[in-house]
């Protein structure tokens, strides 16, 4: 939180993200069963005049950094300053709050970057009787499908109200989560193969990376479940019975994603434990080799060292008489073979081979 | 999720699994106390004409890949498009949803393959007043028992309604879980023996494999408990009091399975910890042997090395005079025995033997 | 689950345990304030005639393997087939189910074998207005105390109804749990002493054995708490206010046992961690000794090796001139003492001693 | 549980602790705003005559081992046999039970012994309209403060009822917990210092000791929270509104203690992990030294060993011709310095120094 | 807890912190839409006379060590002695308690010291109809922003009641938490970089330090969430609908902070595990080097040792005849190269390189 935010009084419109697009852009799609119109709005003040009361209006605003104009939009539609503050503060958790005339929903849109890392964008919605306003800094192409379908006047969305439009926008966001979950699934699958026997094991770093991504995903998805639940409770109020059935279905999708996140988290824990157990087995293996070779050859080296001593047999009959024995050298070999053999039998009995 | 699914609008009938059977097959069993008839239905359109209103009708459909005809069945019976979407999306968690005219239930059937790995198949049911529709891609032989019993006109199922038939189908699925749990029990038992003293320990890989299977099983069974619970609440509505008693019993069975899953999971944790603790003890053992042998013989090798030096005693009386001593060689042996003995006493005191 | 069970229809009477006694035996104790009678019943059909309506009747049946006669008993007393199925399926978790005319309770009796391992037996009860039926395969001597007390016509049990008799039977089972908990306590105490300094540590195997026993005990005791709770709710119905007070007390006993199980489990976790930390400290200790001895003597052995080389000083003045120096040998000793001393000071500074 | 307890029927008065005081002692403090009297009661039968109906009476009984007289007290005051059984069974968890005429409360008093180990004593209370009976085996001096304050007729306790007296007794017990928590805090602080760099680390044994004490403390304090909560619910019945406010405050104190226990437990986990991580780092350090010294000197020792061989250069020109070279000896040194230097560079690059 | 506290009766005013400021200071800000006045109050007795009934009055008191005057303030405003006790006992967890005429709130203010360690100060509030009293030992500068804004008669706070003032004070405290969370985030980020390949890893000590700070922060923030929740429930009573909306927003902020704390805790766990896994990999690496070098050169050193023995070939043809062979020396080299080559191939096959 920068200092502007900190010293501001509550309800002050301050953008806490980083600017990603050039300018604030407002697009308006206005439709009913028969008609469909799309327009780019230049000036915020023009907006109210363009709204068609009898139709469903979708006002899509990108460029949250332009806080003044966002605030102006808020005032035009009678939106509480705290809502505008939350729209601009991109560090919010997903939530759904109902006010007298509208419902406010915060969600997190997740895209995959080219390197398959996650890119999280906050998208907020205001749903009123005949319009939906969507706010975000950078749009992405998630909503393009819906725009296409809106042009088709046979589609269900053209025959339904603003609540169904909001559902479709939420559904588009949740559908993207599937893609993210699948990308994580792929990564986990790739690392899981590393544990097959005969594969060389790499660092656990990428596994922990996936775990961090799951933590981020979880943080976006978990509160969204609750958010949809709050929205479902608006049945009969802002949400029609038909849309309610679709929201219930969306809840199911979210539950599936949450289950996947949980299950992948468990999977990663298992993988890390497996890897640590494999490391530990390998260490034992290595040290066993070291011990076997060392404990066999170190005593032998001592024995040959003894007969390498230069005590003068000429001085005293006590000095290394073995050196002059007829079978001295073969005897030493016999002793050494006995020592080595004994140790090998000992290790065999201990099942070190 | 393939892209077709992603770009589809909600309620679109898209099969997310892999085709396992040649063609969609529809079989109809129609029975009451007196009569029983079995027929294979060729064309979906024939279906309504074959249903006997006064009897219980079980329509069993295999071959979800034929989405068009599944959709046609849905339309014929007035089933909501979202239900058909869920029937075809085999990645759903078990759930029970009630609509005005029918109840929709998703379950997971688990079979063991020949290599005792698990094969999970999604089976969905639609229960209405006088029929049950069951949907799956590949049937297996789980429902054969029920078909046999249906032919016997003394059996309880012939004397009960469609709700009892659904219970029997669910019961057949849950009975299969017992087999899976037992197979896992056997595997755990086999690995548990590995920890008896004197056995050679193998890799933990298969233990982790069992743990992954438990995770999968858990994911299928846990939500089913809740599903049955939702079904029980339909008592007096879609579910008769008698069937309710049987569903309560089924809940008990599921609780037993869940308890087993949990307890086996704990068991595996204990086994992994035991194995890691055993590995660590064994490492200590190995390193102790290495240390004892090395610390005894390395100093001795140094000592014999000293008297292997070639300093010329002829040049100076300071150069290795010991080599010419009368008792030089036995003295060195005494020193070496003292060093070795001292170290052995030290290790004994440290309780390393 | 054997195959008979698997292919049977729900409510079929199939015994899932192993036969432990020769024959099914039925004993009947019938009492009120004044009178007491005990009789062994030969044939199931005689049973109804022997029941005294105005008294409390305790029908104790052992020998669940005789499924036909158990089923016959069920039919005589109008017990639901699902209840009889549960009586015979000894893999059930403890539970309490109320039917119109009776309450059905499943519990687990735990005995200690001679080697102090646990022996778990399923005991089921059916409580009606004026009788209690208890079912088990092998009786043990847990209920003997109650039989004795029933003979004494001043005892509280003689002055109370069938509900109090059931309470006493449950109380006898729970009292046995105390014994099991104490046996586990003793085992834990024994292993805890192993961690006192100066004791030789053994394998963790028996500690894990205790942990497995705790898991089993937990599985028997946890659901019993819930079972008693369901029974308490029958206050005013099958259970009198006086017996309710005693059941509440029994709940307290179970809570104590559950607390003990939990606390022992935590204790074992602490013990295992302590042991692993001690192992790890000991490993450090061993390796420190190896390192100190090796790093001191390996360089020294190299030095003496240098002067063991046989380069011919006669050929060239460059070849090992040290060998002919007057103070060559003492100089080598000085160098070696310096190297050893330096390393010892280094290890001291690192606080390895 | 000794066998007497096991074979006894429920409600039998059996003391399960160990006798700590000589005799049962009964003291009676009887007070109202104006008057205060203290007396030691010799015989249980005298007790009812000494109670002043219009005052608050505090009957303090020590010496639970004298079960007969405890039972007699129970009968005199019309206390249920199960309550007397619980008073005498010192293994009970804290609880609060309400009967028609009185409330029964079990708590655990914790004292610190001289060696700062914990001493847990069970204290039970019976609260009726105008008296409080407190039962324990050995008194300690926890209640002395309250006795002193009772003599002061301005104190709040003299102006309040029996419920406030019970609160003050409970408060005295809870105040002692603070002392225990502080003692544990001191111990944790002492061990935490051990982790500062430069300190020699000791065994983790005492840390685990503290963890066991926390487990014991937790077992006494956790159920007490619930106990006070049950007592609070008696507001308007046995507990006046004023005392209720004080009980709410007591709940806060308990919450603080529970929070402390939890937070200290987390702290200890962190400390143990830190210690294990430090051990593991140190092991790496030690082994690194061993490896560096060994891998440098073992090849060098081999090289000098080569030129220590006694192949006879006189026999063949192939036998160790190097020994007669002019620069043979310096060349060997150069080779050895190259080998050592290469290895040192390798270790530097691996950042082992 | 010092002994004064322990022996005191409940409701006694005892300060449990350490004195940080010289004297108790009381400042009064009194405002409504039109007017604003600020004054320092010298004597507690003057306070009631200075309160303007028709305005909102903020009485800020610093210097809790002066318990007598704090108690005097309590009496002047009719505050319950237990509240004053809690104000002075700085070890309280955050809580909100409602009394008839006022609400009592305890919070924890967290500042960062220069070395970025946390400094926790207890701040208590009493909210009545037209005044807020804030109590703390040392003020810090957290409330300065609010003082500034109060001077501006257009600000929302000048147009709202005492409840909104309390909200603003709580908001200022919570805003400071963001700063603390960010500081922790920075620290975690700094340590995370340490795990990039090529970085030298340091001790885990600072990571554990951050973990301890998170534990402290958690202990301050978690109960505050509940506290705000209790405050929200006062809607319609002490809290206006408008302020309620702001409190709901504050709850959201707290939820974000709690989520952050949880997520950072998970992060640290991941980091510690990563570090331990990296240590373990490194240990394997080091030991592999040791094993490879040792197992290759120890056998070779033995071989050259054999031919360093001084057995006298003159005595017997059995004594080291190899020494006189023509190709003896090259043969030994061949043998040694074969041994070394064989071991290298073995290690390659085991994938140790």
Interval C96-121: pLDDT, tens: 988 889 999 999 999 888 888 888 99
Residue B319 is nearest to which of C6, C219, C329, comparing CB atoms? Answer: C329
CA proximity to B136, closest of B108, B112, B104: B108
pLDDT in tens, C172-210: 999 889 889 989 988 888 877 766 555 555 677 788 888
Looking at the complex, does the CB of residue B284 fall below 8 Å from at least one CB of chain A? no
- Of C270, C295, C302, Cβ closest to residue D304: C302
The low-confidence residues of chain E, meaning pLDDT below 70, are 1-8, 194-202, 353
Return the pLDDT at A157: 86
Longest dimension (CA), chain C: 125
Least confident range of A302-306, B155-159, E174-178: B155-159
Q: Across residues B273-281, what is the average pLDDT?
A: 81
For E168, the enclosing helix (H) or strand (E) is: helix E162-193
Q: In whole numbers, what is the pLDDT of chain C averaged over residues?
A: 86
What band does D195 get if pLDDT is binned at 50, 70 and 90?
A: low
Residue of chain E with shortest Cα separation from A213: E267
Whether C5 shows a pLDDT value over 70: the answer reads: no
Domain boundaries, chain D: 3-277, 279-349
Token pair of C304 as six digits: 């003496």
**Interchain CB contact of E329 with D (< 8 Å):** yes
pLDDT of residue A1: 44
What value does the mean pLDDT take over residues D325-332?
Answer: 85
Q: Which chains touch A (3 or more CB pairs under 8 A)?
A: B, E
Distance from CA of E100 to the nearest CA of A (A): 30
Mean pLDDT calculated for residue range D120-136: 94
Nearest-Cα distance to chain C for D178, in Å, is 22
Q: What is the pLDDT of residue A200?
A: 53
Nearest residue to E80 (alpha-carbon basis) of E163, E166, E7, E10: E10
Dihedral angle computed from the Cα positions of residues E63, E66, E69 and E73, in that order, rounded to the nearest 10 degrees: 40
**C160 Rama class: left (phi>0) / alpha (psi -120 to 50) / beta:** beta
Structure tokens of C199? Answer: 């004791």
Averaged confidence pLDDT in chain A? 86
Considering only the beta carbons, identify the residue of D279, D297, D332 that sits closest to C284: D279
Q: How far is E79 from chain A (nearest CA, A)?
A: 31
pLDDT for residue D202 is more than 80: no
Chains C & D: contacts with CB separation below 8 Å:
155
- The pLDDT of residue D48: 85
Q: Provide the shortest C-alpha distance from residue C329 to chain B (in Å).
A: 5
Interface test with C, best of B312, B344, B352 (most C CBs within 10 A): B312
Q: Which residue of E has its CA nearest to A276?
A: E277
Round the CA-based radius of gyration of chain E to a whole number and report it: 36
Q: E-strand spans in chain E?
A: 25-31, 36-41, 56-62, 95-98, 103-112, 118-127, 131-136
Q: Which residue among C215, C279, C294 sits closest to B284, beta carbon to beta carbon?
A: C279
Average pLDDT across chain D, whole number: 86
In angstroms, what separates the C-alpha of D108 from chain C's closest C-alpha? 14
pLDDT of residue B132: 95
| A273 contacts chain E (CB < 8 A) | no
**Gap from A319 CA to chain B (nearest CA, Å):** 5
- Quote the pLDDT of residue A202: 62
Structural domain E281-349, CATH architecture? Up-down Bundle (1.20)
Asked if residue C87 has pLDDT above 70, the reply is yes
| Assigned superfamily of D279-349 | Magnesium transport protein CorA, transmembrane region (1.20.58.340)
Check B299 against C293: CB less than 8 A apart. Answer: yes
Q: Any chain E CB within 8 A of the CB of D45?
A: no
Measured between CA atoms, the residue of chain A closest to residue E298 is A297
Chain A environment of B322 (Cβ under 8 Å):
311
Tell me how far the alpha carbon of residue A87 is from its chain's centroid: 23
For residue E83, what are the CA distances in angstroms to B315, E8, E62, E239? Answer: 98, 15, 16, 20
pLDDT band at A302 (very low <50, low <70, confident <90, very high): very high
C323 and B302 within 8 Å at the Cβ level: the answer is no
Q: How far apart are CA C349 and CA A79, in angstroms?
A: 70
Residue of C nearest to D83 (CA): C249
Identify the pLDDT of residue E200. 53
Domain C284-349 has CATH 2.60.120.10: no
Q: Which of B95, B279, B320 has the CB atom closest to A280's CB atom?
A: B279
| Tens of pLDDT, residues C37-76 | 999 998 888 888 888 888 999 999 999 999 999 999 999 9
Interval A191-216: pLDDT, tens: 777 665 555 556 777 888 888 889 88
Residue from C172, C258, C260, C306 to probe the interface with D (highest D Cβ count within 10 Å): C306
How far away is chain E from the Cα of D268, in angstroms, using its nearest Cα? 11
Is it the case that residue D196 has pLDDT exceeding 60? no
Tally A–B CB contacts below 8 A.
Answer: 156
- CATH code reported for the domain at D3-277: 3.30.460.20
Average pLDDT over residues D291-300: 92
Mutation pick from A157, A159, A197, A319 vs chain B, by most beta carbons of B within 10 Å, is: A319
CB contact under 8 A, B256 and C332: no
CB–CB contact B212 A306 (8 Å):
no
Summarised one tens digit per residue, pLDDT across range A44-82 is: 888 888 888 889 999 999 999 999 999 999 999 999 988
For chain D, positions 152-181, list CB contacts with chain C under 8 A. Answer: none
Q: Which of B303, D292, B286 is nearest to A301 (CA)?
A: B303
Cα dihedral across residues D293, D299, D303, D305: positive or negative = positive
Same fold: E3-277 with E281-349: no
What's the maximum distance between 2 C-alpha atoms anywhere in chain A?
125
Closest to E265 (Cα-Cα) out of E320, E218, E310: E218
Alpha-carbon gap, residue B185 to B174, rounded angstroms: 17
Q: Chain B within 8 Å of A352 (Cβ-Cβ)?
A: yes
> Does A326 contact B at CB distance below 8 Å?
no
Helix (H, G, I), strand (E, B) or coil at E60: strand
Chain B neighbours (≥3 Cβ pairs under 8 A) are: A, C
**Contact residues, chain B, for A319 at CB < 8 Å:** 323, 326, 328-329
C153, C256, D280: which is closest to E204 by C-alpha? D280
How much of chain D, in percent, has pLDDT values that exceed 70?
A: 95
Chain A: give the shortest CA distance to residue E176, in Å. Answer: 8
pLDDT band for position D1 (50/70/90)?
very low
From the options 1.20.58.340, 1.25.40.10, 1.20.58.110, 3.30.420.10, give the CATH code of B280-349.
1.20.58.340
Interface test with E, best of A308, A334, A340 (most E CBs within 10 A): A308
Picking from B21, B19, B40, B18, the residue whose alpha carbon sits closest to that of residue B29 is B40
- pLDDT value at residue B56: 94
CA distance B313 to B324: 9
What span, in angstroms and rounded, lies between the C-alpha atoms of A273 and A281? 12
Provide, as residue numbers in chain B, all residues whose Cβ is less than 8 Å from the Cβ of A283: 283
Residue E68, C-beta contacts closer than 8 angstroms, at least 6 positions apart: E13
Q: Please, are residues C313 and D325 in contact by the beta-carbon 8 Å criterion?
A: no
E270 to chain A, any CB pair closer than 8 A? The answer is yes
Element (H, E) at B271: helix B241-306
Does residue C266 sit at the B interface (CB-CB below 8 Å)? no
Output the pLDDT for position A4: 53
Chain E residue numbers with beta carbons less than 8 Å from the beta carbon of D177 are: none
Query: Residue A293: which of E167, E171, E294 has the nearest Cβ?
Result: E294
Distance from CA of B105 to the nearest CA of C (A): 21
How far is the alpha carbon of C312 from chain D, nearest alpha carbon, in Å? Answer: 6
How far lies E327's CA from each of A330, C237, D320, E321, E340, in Å? 21, 106, 10, 12, 20
Q: Token pair for residue E238?
A: 């002490």
Report the percent of chain C where pLDDT is more than 90: 38
Examine the pLDDT at C123 and tell me if it is beyond 80: yes
Residue of D nearest to C149 (CA): D9
Which chain E positions have a beta carbon within 8 Å of D263's beta carbon?
215, 219
B299 Cβ contact partners less than 8 Å away, ≥ 6 residues apart:
B339, B343, C293, C297
Which of C112, C30, C13 is CA-nearest to residue C71?
C13
Taking CA atoms, what residue in E is nearest to A217? E263
Collapse the DSSP code of D233 into the 3-class scheme (helix H, G, I; strand E, B; otherwise coil) and give the result.
coil
What is the Rg, in whole angstroms, of the alpha carbon atoms belonging to chain A? 36
pLDDT, tens digit, for every residue of A100-135?
A: 899 999 999 998 888 888 889 999 999 999 999 999
Q: Which residues pair with C19 in a beta bridge?
A: none
Query: Is D160's pLDDT higher than 80?
Result: yes
Contact A351, B200 (CB under 8 A): yes
Q: Residue C275 has what pLDDT? A: 82
* D331 lies within 8 A of chain E by CB: no
pLDDT in tens, B125-134: 999 999 999 9
The mean pLDDT of D142-150, rounded to a whole number, is 87
Closest partner residue to A329 (CB to CB) among E156, E287, E319 is E319
A80, A123 contact by CB (below 8 A): no
Residue to test with chain C: of B191, B192, B274, most C Cβ within 10 A: B274
Burial readout B209-231 (b: 16 or more C-beta within 10 A, e: otherwise)? ebbbbbbbbbbbbbbbeebbeeb
Is the pLDDT score of B180 beyond 80?
A: yes
Mode of pairing for the β-strands spanning D103-112 and D118-127: antiparallel
Q: Under a CB-based contact definition with an 8 Å cutoff, are residues A64 and A20 in contact?
A: no
Contact flag E294-D294 (C-beta cutoff 8 Å): yes
Instruction: For residue C1, name the pLDDT band (cuts at 50, 70, 90).
Output: very low
Chain B contact present for C297, CB below 8 A: yes
């Amino acid at each position: 939180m920068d200092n502007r935010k900190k010293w501001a009084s509550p309800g002050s419109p301050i953008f806490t993200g980083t600017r990603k697009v050039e300018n604030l852009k407002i697009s308006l799609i206005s439709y009913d069963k028969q008609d469909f119109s799309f327009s780019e709005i230049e000036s915020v003040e023009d907006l109210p005049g363009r709204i068609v009361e009898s139709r469903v209006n979708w006002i899509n605003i990108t460029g949250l950094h332009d806080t003044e104009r966002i605030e102006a939009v808020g005032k035009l539609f009678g939106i509480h300053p705290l809502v505008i503050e939350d729209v601009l503060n991109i560090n919010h958790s997903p939530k759904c709050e109902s006010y007298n005339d509208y419902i406010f929903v915060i969600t997190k849109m997740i895209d995959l970057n080219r390197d398959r890392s996650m890119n999280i964008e906050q998208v907020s919605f205001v749903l009123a009787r005949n319009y939906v306003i969507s706010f975000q800094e950078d749009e992405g192409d998630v909503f393009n499908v819906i725009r296409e379908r809106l042009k088709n006047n046979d589609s269900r969305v053209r025959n339904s109200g603003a609540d169904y439009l909001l559902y479709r926008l939420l559904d588009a966001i949740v559908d993207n989560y599937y893609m993210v979950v699948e990308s994580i699934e792929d990564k986990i699958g790739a690392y899981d193969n590393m544990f097959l026997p005969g594969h060389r094991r790499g660092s656990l770093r990428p596994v922990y990376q996936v775990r961090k991504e799951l933590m981020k995903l979880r943080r976006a998805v978990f509160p969204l479940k609750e958010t949809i639940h709050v929205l479902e409770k608006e049945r009969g109020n802002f949400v029609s019975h038909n849309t309610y059935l679709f929201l219930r279905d969306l809840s199911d999708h979210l539950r599936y994603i949450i289950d996947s996140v949980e299950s992948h988290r468990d999977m990663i824990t298992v993988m890390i434990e497996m890897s640590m157990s494999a490391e530990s087995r390998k260490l034992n293996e290595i040290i066993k080799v070291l011990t076997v070779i060392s404990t066999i050859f170190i005593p032998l080296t001592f024995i040959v060292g003894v007969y390498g001593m230069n005590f003068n047999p000429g001085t005293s009959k006590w000095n290394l008489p073995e050196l002059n024995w007829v079978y001295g050298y073969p005897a030493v070999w016999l002793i050494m073979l006995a020592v080595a053999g004994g140790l090998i039998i000992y290790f065999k009995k201990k099942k070190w081979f």
